[in-house]
Amino acid sequence: MATTVNKTGNFPRQTFSEAGKASACQGCPNQAICASGIAKAPDPAIQEIKEKMASVKHKILVLSGKGGVGKSTFSAHLAHGIASDETKQVALLDVDICGPSIPKIVGLEGEQVHQSGSGWSPVYVEENLGVMSIGFLLSSPDDAVIWRGPKKNGLIKQFLRDVDWGELDYLIVDTPPGTSDEHLSVVQYLSATHVDGAVIITTPQEVSLQDVRKEINFCRKVKLPIIGVVENMSGFVCPKCQHESQIFPPTTGGAMKMCNDLNIPFLGKVPLDPRIGKSCDEGKSFLTEVPDSPATLALKDIFHPPHHVNDTSQSASQNIL
Ligand SMILES: Nc1ncnc2c1ncn2[C@@H]1O[C@H](COP(=O)(O)OP(=O)(O)OP(=O)(O)O)[C@@H](O)[C@H]1O
Ligand code: SF4
């Protein structure tokens, strides 16, 4: 058996005899993008996940190149936004194994997962909005999760296969920043099902946009459709006088330009609003706490675009839902 280092990481890319293929690639986090063409050992869990996910109409992954750009905030509010329609059943899955922030943002910190006959039960924010996160499995929010790839893969597999999600209209998956084991696992495990695609969150600065380009390349490599890019923390609209200041000049609007250059949908800009941090810290939806904030209106436009969708000079030119 010959072993070489895989271009996509340190996991060895291996060359096996036909007989060895079945077990050879088991557990490798790079299977979804392995260029060898050999690492395709069927994982029985993929079939089980396919069956479980058959009752989920839409699956949306939320990605970002950098940490702290507002990905979890966006994921949570996208879930809240969809669930504001009581006819829709929504689930929010946090696969940021080492830094789960969803339980706090949706006001479920300290909650624990319950086991039922049909698997783990999600924890519910509302009757039509269920959440699953490793945060619900920790005894304290301050516990550190120091896991290597295969263990993270195992938990993500369990989240997709063993949680009693029920019939869902939308499954929103909040991921860690970058392109790590968690992303590869989610893409690999969902590969046999229909995934709507990824929403990529960035801030206007070039350092963040640089990493978004990597994220876009990742999506292209693993054949994950890109729903579009959101520029978060894009300018500051003063809550007192509505004056708009560009906090990060001259790069505000950089995401739209990047999208035009790369021929990717630009979904819109969300301004900075200090009240978002307050709502998230209190575990409340900013959409209902401050319904008239320019940031709330921008988020709602991104979820359900207004009629002026052809006006690309302003913001939304595409929609998510
Ligand atoms: N538009 C905004 N205006 C003001 N504060 C914001 C905005 N978007 C997000 N925030 C705040 O920025 C902080 C980081 O957001 P969040 O945790 O969602 O980022 P993230 O990209 O998920 O980070 P990580 O992936 O590293 O966990 C939070 O305190 C959040 O409340
Ligand atoms: S924009 Fe600046 S000066 Fe105007 S109210 Fe806001 S903080 Fe004050």
Cα gap 43→23, rounded to integer Å: 9
Residue 88 marked in a binding site: no
- Whether residue 194 is contained in a domain is answered as yes
Flag whether 133 is in a domain: yes
Residue 68 in marked binding region: yes
Task: Report pLDDT for 88.
Answer: 96
Residue type, 115: Q
The answer to whether the CB of 302 falls within 8 A of the CB of 289 is no
Q: Report pLDDT digits (tens) over 202-245.
A: 999 888 888 999 999 999 999 999 999 999 999 888 878 888 88
Residue 201 within any structural domain of the chain: yes
Residues lining ligand 2, Cβ inside 6 A: 238, 240-241, 243
- In sequence order, the 6+-apart residues with CB closer than 8 A to the CB of 237 are 243, 244, 271, 272, 273, 293, 294, 295
123 is in an annotated binding site: no
Q: Which own/partner pairs from 209-214 qualify as long-range (CB within 8 Å, at least 24 positions apart)?
A: 209/65, 209/251, 209/254, 209/255, 209/258, 210/65, 211/64, 211/65, 211/66, 211/177, 211/178, 212/64, 212/65, 212/255, 212/258, 213/65, 213/258, 213/262, 214/65, 214/178, 214/179
pLDDT at residue 10, as a whole number: 44
Q: Which atom of ligand 2 is nearest to the CA of 243?
A: 1
Cα of 250 vs centre of ligand 2, distance in Å, is 20
Q: How far apart are CA 77 and CA 74, in angstroms?
A: 5
Tell which wins on pLDDT, 155 or 72. 72
Q: Which domain holds residue 284?
A: 45-303
CA–CA dist 115, 97 (Å, integer): 20
Q: Is 225 exposed, middle or buried (0-12, 13-18, 19+ CB in 10 A)?
A: exposed
- Closest approach atom of ligand 1 to CA 270: 1
State whether the Cα torsion 7-10-16-22 is positive or negative.
negative
Q: Whose CA is nearest to atom 7 of ligand 2?
A: 238
From atom 6 of ligand 2, which residue's Cα is the shortest distance away?
238
- Geometric angle at alpha carbon 36, from 176 and 179, rounded to 5°: 10
pLDDT tens column, 144-203: 666 666 777 888 999 999 999 999 999 999 999 988 888 888 988 888 899 999 999 999
Point out the ligand 2 atom lying closest to the alpha carbon of residue 241. Answer: 5
Report how far ligand 2's centroid is from the alpha carbon of 145 (Å).
Answer: 42
Task: State pLDDT tens for residues 266-304.
Answer: 999 999 999 999 999 999 999 999 999 999 999 999 998
| Residue 7 in this model has a pLDDT that exceeds 70 | no
C-beta separation of 274 from 236 below 8 A: no
Mutate-to-test residue for ligand 1 from 63, 72, 73, 237, highest number of ligand atoms within 8 A of CB: 73
Tokens found for residue 75: 């994921």
Lowest mean pLDDT among 21-25, 83-87, 164-168, 290-294: 21-25
Residue 317 lies in a domain: no
The pLDDT, as a whole number, for residue 4 is 42
Q: Which-ligand-closest: CA of 106? A: 1
Question: Is residue 26 in a domain?
Answer: no
Q: Which of 24-38, 76-90, 205-219, 248-262 has the highest mean pLDDT?
A: 76-90
Which of 243, 273, 275 is the best mutation target for the ligand 2 pocket, counting ligand atoms within 8 Å of the beta carbon and taking the most?
243
Question: Looking at residue 317, what is its pLDDT?
Answer: 47
Of the two residues 118 and 175, the one the predictor is more confident about is: 175
Which pLDDT score, from 0 to 100, does residue 59 have?
A: 95
Q: Count structural domains, the chain.
A: 1
pLDDT: is 305 or 7 the higher one?
305
Q: Tell me the average pLDDT of the chain.
A: 83
Answer whether residue 316 shows pLDDT above 50. Answer: no
Q: Which atom of ligand 2 is nearest to the CA of 239?
A: 6
Q: What is the pTM of this model?
A: 0.84
Residues above pLDDT 90, as percent of the chain? 51
The answer to whether residue 313 is domain-embedded is no
Measure 243 CA to ligand 2 centroid, in angstroms. 7
- Alpha carbon distance 140, 114 (integer Å): 16
Nearest one of 223, 201, 196 to 212, comparing CA atoms: 201
Average pLDDT on 61-65 reads: 95
**67 among the known binding-site residues?**
yes
Q: Which residue has the higher pLDDT, 145 or 35?
A: 145
Torsion of CA 172, 176, 182, 186, to 10 degrees: 20
Q: For residue 123, what pLDDT is reported?
A: 96
Would you say residue 320 lies in a domain?
no
d(CA 46, CA 192): 7
Q: Buried (b) or exposed (e) across 114-139, using 16+ Cβ within 10 A? A: eeeeeebbbbebeebbbbbbbbbebe
Q: Which residues have CB under 8 Å from 109's CB, separation 6+?
A: 103, 135, 141, 283
The domain spanning residue 193 has which CATH number?
3.40.50.300
Q: How many CA atoms, within 13 angstroms, populate the side-chain half-sphere of residue 144?
A: 2
Q: What is the ipTM of this complex?
A: 0.91
Token pair listed for 223 = 């054949």
Query: Is residue 53, in this structure, part of any structural domain at all?
Result: yes
Query: Per-residue pLDDT averaged across 104-112, rounded?
Result: 94
Nearest CA to ligand 2 atom 4: 241
Per-residue pLDDT band at 311 (split at 50, 70, 90): very low
The residue ranking higher by pLDDT, 104 or 254, is: 104
70 belongs to an annotated ligand binding site: yes
Q: What is the pLDDT of residue 251?
A: 62
The answer to whether the CB of 73 is under 6 A from ligand 1 is yes
